[in-house]
A and B are shown apart, each in its own frame.
Chain A
């Protein structure tokens, strides 16, 4: 993937897309092969430049922490970003169970958008959201991606979504060297 490139990865559920995302982010080690960023292996310590966001935000946060603590775990997102994400001040003192899925997902996105993030892997991140919340989140992510030159890997089974947000679409089954299907953004 190029810097700032937005690649859609589509394929049936259970085909291994999520596992691939975990490997690309450095959460899982590959048994063979290698993931390189700028021709170097991913850093083993410190902030992960390749960040992963999941489909179920409620499984990605500690239920016993307040949102403020969860948000500031890796770095301190500034108010501008929180405003852009529609994160309201009152939400910060709440616990995860006191927020809806869409609200929680905004926190997970904020948390992953540290200044050192180069690539964001979005694993079905808006599958559980209503269309308006989905469009809101993608508007922000596209804006961030353009402003920072941050690449996006968009894992989804929603082709219409991939066509909206991606510069290129790849089918998972084609990843083992058989070639790629491309799509130019309107």
Chain B
């Protein structure tokens, strides 16, 4: 049986209007997430990764204008449907520790949606799996280290039983070993038929644990590729930016690319990577570059083969 597509995003764009100025934060983004898979979303900070997660959850600020279409199990995601689904079917593991209530012991924050006895037992078991001692249940957020807090937030998401999990940078602050442990849990989550959207700047880890990798740059999607295409010198990858990203890793050559990612105010219609791209030609600057399917993935580059 073919795994069901849980999340479909078609041509999603997000613009912010403030003081009469319109800036495009995300544009023309199309993605799917299926049951049983981990889809990693990678890119530099400011590329739009967290924004994408917030758009899927309907948690964008009020001055955001969203166009395009998002569906969950065929049901359109909008202001009406999202509040019903959020926290039950679709859940976020937040990036920031400020999501915890500073005045409540963390154990209770993890299990409060459940009945006390069952919740407490399950939380204790999860805490143990994550290497948190039972005393942590009674601690307040300010008493925890960053890594511990992340493990607490993770336990809460696991316990919610959601079908679509959005993990926003779940691993920094964790040692490699603990990070791998967390990712093994994401894998277990996927094996149970859930879909995991793993948002991370850590390409290493994404490639190691995800099934597919989506590469964001300057608010748009440049490529989706099977994780196994990130190998050797990156020749199997479709987009020059993905190749550069891969070859910049310390173990793969550590090659920097000069220049910066354009900020939202400076975004152009044509290829956003053109100013830094080693393969650009005059054609690249002429018109918007569409996202197209290629070799079992997608790419936004006119010269990709």
Q: Which residues of A contact B (CB under 8 A)?
A: 12-14, 55, 86, 88, 99-103, 127-136, 138-139, 157-158, 160-161, 163-165
Contacts and interface: CB of A to CB of B under 8 A. Distances in A.
B114 to A, nearest CB: 29
B249 interface: yes
23 contacts: A12-B177, A13-B173, A100-B46, A100-B263, A102-B44, A102-B45, A128-B172, A129-B44, A129-B201, A130-B248, A132-B44, A132-B245, A133-B44, A134-B248, A134-B250, A135-B248, A135-B255, A135-B256, A136-B258, A157-B175, A160-B250, A164-B254, A165-B250
Interface residues of B, number: 33
Contacts, number: 82
B251 interface: yes
B174 A13 contact: yes
Contacts of A13: 145, 147, 173-175, 178
B260 interface: yes
B43 A130 contact: yes
B147 A132 contact: no
B251 to A, nearest CB: 4
Interface of B: 42-47, 145, 147, 172-178, 201, 203, 244-246, 248-251, 254-261, 263
Given A129-B201, A132-B248, A139 B44 contact: no
A101 B45 contact: yes
B256 A139 contact: yes
Given A130-B43, A164-B250, A157 B256 contact: no
Given A135-B248, A139-B256, A127 B46 contact: no
Nearest to A105: B45
Report which residue of B178, B248, B250 has the largest number of chain A beta carbons within 10 angstroms of its beta carbon.
Answer: B250
Contacts of B246: 131
B247 to A, nearest CB: 8
A15 to B, nearest CB: 9
Given A86-B259, A99-B46, 10 more contacts: A12-B177, A13-B173, A13-B174, A13-B178, A128-B172, A130-B42, A130-B43, A131-B203, A132-B244, A157-B175
